[in-house]
Amino acid sequence: MDWGGPAFVIAIIAVSTGGWLINNWIRAKHGYSLENEWGGMTEPTDSAETKRLREENRALHDKLDAMQDRMIVLEKIVTDRGYSLREEIEALRERPRPDDAGVPLNVQREERF
């Protein structure tokens, strides 16, 4: 391989340019500032869609914060000392039932032929 020939120089220039293009493409895709030809940085501009998405994202974060606050309140209600579902169920079991409540279990059916 001829290291000093024009093909090698062109290959180095092509690889360098390709790397620079891929680097800028990745940076643009993720919203970072881009490098221009002279090494300076170019900030991305916000389009109307980007602004709309940022507003929607902010609104969703606000809803999420409100839901987290509600969840905290519900957790406090459930874990509160005065609220015990087990005690309420046991109180219902211990309550005396009137004699005429419900159908007795020892009912015998008449056979009809």
Interval 54-94: pLDDT, tens:
899 999 999 999 999 999 888 887 777 666 677 777 777 76
Alpha-carbon distance 112 to 47, whole Å?
84
Same domain? 36 vs 52: no
Would you call 50 helix, strand, or coil by DSSP?
helix
> What pLDDT score was predicted for residue 73?
85
Cross-strand partners of 35: 41
28 vs 102, more confident: 28
The structural domain count of the chain equals: 2
Is 113 contained in some domain?
no
pLDDT exceeds 70 at position 104: no
44 vs 9, more confident: 9
Q: Is-contact 17 9, C-beta < 8 A?
A: no
Phi and psi based region of residue 39 (left: phi greater than 0; alpha: psi -120 to 50; beta: remaining)? left
Residues with Cβ < 8 Å from 42, sequence gap 6 or more?
33, 34, 35, 36
Same domain? 23 vs 40: yes
